[in-house]
Amino acid sequence: MASNEEITGPISQEDVEAADKLKNEANEYFKKQSYNNAIELYTKAIEKNPKNAVFFANRSIANLRLENFGYALSDASKAIELDRSYTKAYYRRAAAYMSLGKYKLALKDFEYVTKVRPNDQDAKMKYTECNKIVKKIAFEKAISVDKKEVNIADSINLDAMTIEDEYIGPALEDGKVTLKFVTELMEFYKRQKKLHKKYAYKILIDVKAYLQKQPSLVDIKVADEAKFTVCGDIHGQYYDLMNIFKLNGLPSETNPYLFNGDFVDRGSFSVECIFTLFSFKLLYPNHFYMSRGNHETLDMNRMYGFRGEVSSKYTSQMADLFTEVYNWLPLAHCINGRVLVMHGGLFSKDDVTLDDIRKVDRNKQPPEDGIMCELLWSDPQPMLGRAPSKRGVGCQFGPDVTNTFLQRNGLDYVIRSHEVKNDGYEIAHDGKCITVFSAPNYCDTMGNLGAFITMNGKDLKPNFTTYEAVPHPDVKPMAYANSFFNMLCQ
């Protein structure tokens, strides 16, 4: 392979200085958590001086913050190619690998650093911590193989759980969710109280039993004059979820909702969000819908806080049960046969039909490619055609891909979520691909608006409502995230 110098030729001192100036400007944007602006300036610095490993490593961490794991990985690898001794680049690549659930590859990077820098205590510590994660996952897999016939929902003994006299929270009535229960639950959660574990387990067991009977693609019928609401990512931002209901009304048989994945992770009130949403699902099963997102998966929950939050507020057994329940969430919804809603996006092949989605065996962790993966992970792009995903999973698809899919399946447009948008939504591909994101000021840092979509059954024309974040108790996002991962991403 030709060296970088042979490809680019010599770089003038003027370009070196201009690149350093751009990098410093980018660093200021990064400190302000304006990651897109930082990436733009790091890119300009790289164009001036493509031989500086620091520029690639800095752009890598900015991409990590935006969950562009594929870009983060390639930038960190380029930084390593330019400077084999640049320790930080190995850490960046390890963080990207971990975000993609590739823990063994992350461990290799740490192992390399400990070999070339045997006295580096920080590297030793990170290697040891990563090794613990790899061994723990291997142990969990070994147990799950031994116990593959064990069904956690069936192993829960609700009768053995007693409701203590001092518990004064909401209670299920005859084991059922009622409007009184869910109304009291929302107020209870606003005061940072915890639902009794017996009721929490019962909700999960009942939701799983319901979801198991649902197809992978759910058809929704909306009457001509009826209103229907689609919400995007919530990401554990419970107080913003309450604000949606304040602005748009509580879910009911006359006010149906679809929540389009990523209910949990990042935000530190994910338990409150998911039990509220699951309660509404049980209360109004035919008027309240939930799609699986890429964060309703084991690897994401392990890294981004949900698993830690459930284990802290309840038990690790309940965290395992959530994984079991999430496997049964539908992958997509079709409104009146004309609008397809999925969390991520479209496909790497042109011949996918709605029937293909219906036939997907979804009771598993998403594979690294194929229809299920792409429904949860893909993103639109403005250019024609397809490109490898910036996230390292799924694909990026252009307006021609969207058009072909819509024509093949007799659809008007698609709604998806999965990406932060400054205005809470974005209309792309000539109005045929709409993104809606419902977590305002995402992670308390992004400054974006949240949005939801309302439409009526007759014309299905999307109307957008946007809103700002509301105050929440002083619990930081990622409070329950894997501390090792947080340390890597500093």
Give the pLDDT confidence score for residue 204 in this predicted structure: 98
How high is the mean pLDDT of the chain? 93
148 pLDDT higher than 60:
no
CA–CA dist 297, 100 (Å, integer): 12
Look at domain 155-486 and name its CATH class.
alpha beta
Could you give the angle at the alpha carbon of 90 between the alpha carbons of 84 and 93, nearest 5°? 125
Domain ranges of the chain: 4-144, 155-486
Fold of the domain spanning 4-144: 1.25.40
2 pLDDT higher than 50:
no
373 pLDDT higher than 80:
yes
Token pair in block for residue 24:
């410093």
What single-letter amino acid sits at 93? R
Give the pLDDT confidence score for residue 462 in this predicted structure: 98
- Cβ-contact 405, 346 below 8 angstroms: yes
Marked catalytic residue, from 295, 333, 343, 472: 295
342 pLDDT higher than 80:
yes
315 pLDDT higher than 90:
yes
Q: What percent of the chain has pLDDT over 70?
A: 96
**Mean pLDDT to the nearest integer, 20-43:** 95
Q: Residue 143's pLDDT band (boundaries 50, 70, 90)?
A: confident
Which residue matches tokens 């002083």? Answer: 474
Q: Whole-model pTM?
A: 0.93
78 pLDDT higher than 50:
yes
Give the pLDDT confidence score for residue 306 in this predicted structure: 97
5 pLDDT higher than 70:
no
490 pLDDT higher than 80:
no
Q: Could you confirm whether 418 is annotated as catalytic?
A: no
In Å, what is the CA distance from 374 to each residue of 55, 244, 401? 31, 28, 13
CA–CA dist 221, 99 (Å, integer): 38
9 pLDDT higher than 90:
no
**Mean pLDDT to the nearest integer, 121-140:** 86
176 pLDDT higher than 50:
yes
**Mean pLDDT to the nearest integer, 460-489:** 88
**Mean pLDDT to the nearest integer, 377-403:** 97
Handedness of CA 250, 252, 254, 260 (dihedral sign): positive
**Mean pLDDT to the nearest integer, 373-399:** 97
Q: Residue 4's pLDDT band (boundaries 50, 70, 90)?
A: very low
Q: Residue 133's pLDDT band (boundaries 50, 70, 90)?
A: confident
